[in-house]
Structure 1
Amino acid sequence: MSEPTNPVQLFSEMLGSPLGELISSVGQGVGDAQAALDQGALEQTLEIYDLSKDDEKTDAELKLLKLIREIGYQPTFYTIPETEVEAQISLSLDLKSEQASPIGGTPLSKFKVNATPLNAGNMNRFGLQANAMAKLKFKIVPVPPPQNIVDIRYVPDLVGPISPTDPSPKTWNETTKELLDNLGFTVLFKTQEGDLITDETLVEGLAIFSQTPDAGTIANTANVPLELTFQDLHKVPDLSTLNWNSETEEIIEDLGFTYAFKTPEGDAIIDETLVEGLLIGSQSPLAGSIANASNTPIEIVFEDLHKVPTLIGTYWSSEEEEIIENLGFTYQLFDADSLETITFEEANGYLVQDQSLASGTFAYTGDTINVFVNTNDM
C-alpha cells in the first residue's frame, strides 16, 4: 500500500480525536467525580429526614436522629473547586467539507483540528516532523450549585392511620407541628374547596384529609409549602341576599353544614314552613369565614318573623304598646265584654284579658294583634 501524499489525509491518519472531544472528555470526568460527591451528600441528607424508615431504627438511633433533626444538621457537601489541565499534544488538520468557490478557482475547504496526546508510542510511531507541536492548558471551574439544595426533604405521610396498630387518623396537633418544623416545611391550611384557612386554632385536633405534595415525594422546603386540607372545614356561604327555599338549603347541605332559624330577638323557629320564601336578614357565622361544619350550625335570622309577646295579665299602657311596635306588629284594642273597638285612652290602665295572635306563636312584621281589655276591672 502506497503512503498517502495528501498532507490533510496524512494528518488525519496520524492523529487522534477532535480537540473539542478531548477537552469535553476531561470535563466529563470532573463532572462524574463531582456528581459522585453530591450524590453521597444528598443520600445522607435524605436518610436523616426520611421518616418512613424510623420504624426500622432502635430507640437509641431514633433519639440521636431526633436531636439531629431538631438542630437542623446538614451533611457536608464537598466540591472540586477547580481543575487545571496542562498537556502536550500534537495537532492536525482534518478536511471536514469542501465546496466550490462562488468566484471560481480553488474550492473552499473547511477543516477541523484533531489532537493526540504526546507519548512515547505516538512519537515513535508517527515521528515529530508531520505534527504540529502544542501545549494545551485549560481550567474547569464549577458554577455555584442550585440554591437551597440542602433544603430537600422526603415529604412525610400525614394522612391516614397513625400506625398499623393504631387506626386513629392523623391530626393536626403539637406533634405534627413539631415534626414539620424540624423538617423545615412551611404549612398552608385549606378547605377541600381550596379556601385558605388562616386561623390555626380552627384545625387543632382535626383529622388531616389530604396533603400536597404527596407523601414519599421529594420537595424543597425553601420554596414548596406543604398544603393540608381538612374535611370538615368550609367557607361559610353568603345567604344575606337569598330567600329561604330548597336551593338555599342545598347550598348549605352541600358544604356539610346544618342550620337553625331564629328571629331577630334570638327566638328559635322550629316550623320551617313559617320561613319558606322569606328573605334572609343575617347569619352567623359571617359569610366568608371558615367554620367547622360538623359542630357549627349556620344560624339564619329572618327580620320579618317574630314571636308574639304575652299581653294577657298585663295592664294596658304605653309600655305594652311599645313592645308591640318594637316587634313590628300593629294592634287593635277591643272591649272584652262588648267586643267593640276602643281607643288607647279607653283601654289605658285596664287588664288585658285575651289576645289574638296567641302569645308564643310566630307572626310576620305588619301583622295585627287583637287585644281584649276588661274595662270593667278596676
Structure 2
Amino acid sequence: MLSRRKFIVGTALAAGALAGSSRPALASTNVVAGAIRWDAWNAGAGSLEQGPVQAALGPAQFQTRAPWFAQRISPYAMSIDGNQQSIMDQEITYAKNAGLNYWAYCWYGDTDLPMQKAWDLHQASAIKNQVNWCMILQFSRMGNATKFNSLISTYVGYFQQSNHQKVLGGRPLLYIFVDSSTALAANWGNSWANVQSSLNALRAACTNAGLATPYIVIMTGDPAAGQSIMTQVSADAISNYTAQLASGQPATYAAQDTTAQAYWAALAATGAPIIPICQTGWDTRPRKLRPPPWAPNPPGSGMLNYVAAGTPAQIAAHIQAAITYIGANAAACPSKTLLIYSWNENDEGGSPLIPTWTPSSGPNTAILDAVAGVLNAA
C-alpha cells in the first residue's frame, strides 16, 4: 500500500500536478459509470489500514468526512467499522439508487486480506447484482509472471460472475494501476514484453472459457507513459487513479474541474482510447495532521495544499461534463465508460460519493443525491 499512496500523489502532480452486465448502462447516454473503492473502513478492527485512517478523521474538524456508519467517541476520536453485511447492503442500495453501474475495487488479493473484506461482503449480499464490480490491479502487488499466471483461472472466474462489469458487448473491464516505478525491474525482468506475455495468457484463458477478452485499462499519471505501456502490453485504453490536480493554497473546486477536464484532453491527445477520470475532491489534511505509516510526513506539514470542497451541484456538473465529453468524443471513448474518484476515499480525497456522518441528522447524502440527478437523468 505504501507505493500506491506515494505514487498517486507523485504522478498526479508530475502529470500536470457495453453493457453486457447485470446492470444496464445509463439510459440517456449509454455511459457506464463507476467509482473507486479503497476499503480501509471495512477492513475490521486491528487491520493495518483501519486504525490510521480512523485516527485521521478523529479531530472534530474532520469528523463529518467519516462514512455514514461511523460513531463519534469524543471531539477527538471516531470509531469507523463497516465490516458488517447490513452496512454493505446499504452501500449497494445507495450506489444503485444513485445510478452507479460499478465499483472499481483497489485489489489486494491475498497480500492484504482485511482490505478484501468489503468485496467479500459485496459478493455475499443478496442484492449484489444491483451494483457491478471490477478490479484495479496494483502493479506493485501483481507479483511476477509465476504469481500472476497462477491466478489466471481465479481472474477468469471473477470475469464470469454475474455482477462483473462488462463493456463493449461483453468484455470484462480490468484496470491495471502502475503504482510503482520499481516493480517492472524487480518482478518482470525490466520488460513490458514479459507483462504482455502474462496478459496474453489471461486473454487466451478467457477465450477458452467462452468469454470475450478483457478490456484492459492502464492507469498512470503521465499520459504519454500510459500510452507507451498500453502499446507495449497490448492493452486497450488509458486512465488514472486521480485526475491531474489543481494547484493552489487551497485550489478552488472550479479550478480542479477545469484541470481535470484538461487532463482528459491530454489523455486523448496521445491517440490512445481513454476512460475519463472524474475528481470529486482532493484534501489530504487529515493525513497531514495525523500521518499514517504509509505517508510518514512531519505532522501538520503542507496543510494549505488541498482542493477546497466543491458544492454538490459543482461535483454533479463535473460528472455531467465527463458524460458530455464521452458523447462528443466517441473515437477517444469507445467503451463509453467513466470512472469517479471516489466512492469512499474519505480521509484522502474528501467529498466522496458515499454518504457521510452527521452528529444528529443522519447520513449526509447531498453529494450522492446531486450526482444521482445526473446519472439517473432520463
Which TM-score applies when normalising by structure 2? 0.18
Structure holding more helix per residue = 2
Asked which structure has the greater RCO (Cα within 8 Å, sep 6+), the reply is 2
Structure holding more strand per residue = 1
